[in-house]
Structure 1
Amino acid sequence: MSDWTDVAAETDLFEGAGVPVAPGGRDIALYSQGGQVFATDNLCTHGHARLCDGFLEGFEIECPFHQGRFDIRTGQATGAPCTEAVKSWPVKVEGGRVWLALD
């Protein structure tokens, strides 16, 4: 069973942008989109760029290095040259705080 870890204030997030957090030394990006919060690993599986520095359109984050894309809901690669998914993390928002289930 995963423990929930408090990683950010909901007010630290804004629609259409990634925000980096580092719970337990992990590099994770948080995204606020469509009234929901999502989390993925922050490192692109293709070019080793930080996804929080990329461009978020809809539910896809575009890597700032080679413009590959990932679905922030699932971590699946959705655009070349990316073919390997990034890990996505379960998220809940309670009491104005963002919590991640870390394994």
Structure 2
Amino acid sequence: MNTNTTSSWQDAIAVDDVPADDVVGVIVAGKDVAIYSVDGEIFASSNLCTHGNARLCDGFLEGHEIECPLHQGKFDVRSGKPTCAPVTEAIRTYPIKIENGRVYVAFE
């Protein structure tokens, strides 16, 4: 994706505030967003599980999979796709860019 074509970049969090190989929840432009750090890469998704009313930032991140704290369904943080029952509907993922030590998220 060409980052120059996305006009809705929102400042989310400092890179240093995203724990290594973990997840943190932030509110960005009124949206609840999960920011993940996996092997030095940053990813962003909706913070709400599509199966139950649970915040993914309260779940367990293992590799590229976030486990919902409510029913233990899992999603791939890169694509949002479900990887384990009982979840069947993907979570929304968002493009990110890192600039001047900050993580920016785009909402399209």
TM-score w.r.t. length of structure 1:
0.95
What are the equivalent positions in structure 2 for 1:1-103 lying under 5 Å apart? 1-103=6-108
Q: Say whether the 8 Å CA contact 2:23–2:36 is kept in structure 1.
A: yes
CA RMSD of aligned residues (A): 0.9
Measured against aligned partners, the alpha-carbon deviations of 1:28-79 in whole angstroms (never above 9, x if no partner) come to: 1000111110001000000110000000001000000110000000111111
Structure 2 counterpart SS, 1:98: strand
Of all paired residues, the percent bearing the same amino acid is 54
Unpaired segments ≥5 residues, structure 2:
1-5
Rate the CA distance shift 1:78–1:2 in 2: closer, same or farther, 3 A: farther
TM-score w.r.t. length of structure 2:
0.91
Structure 1 counterpart SS, 2:34: strand
Name segments (4+ residues, structure 1) moved above 2 Å.
none
Structure 1 Cα separation of the partners of residues 99 and 58 of structure 2? 26
Matched length = 103
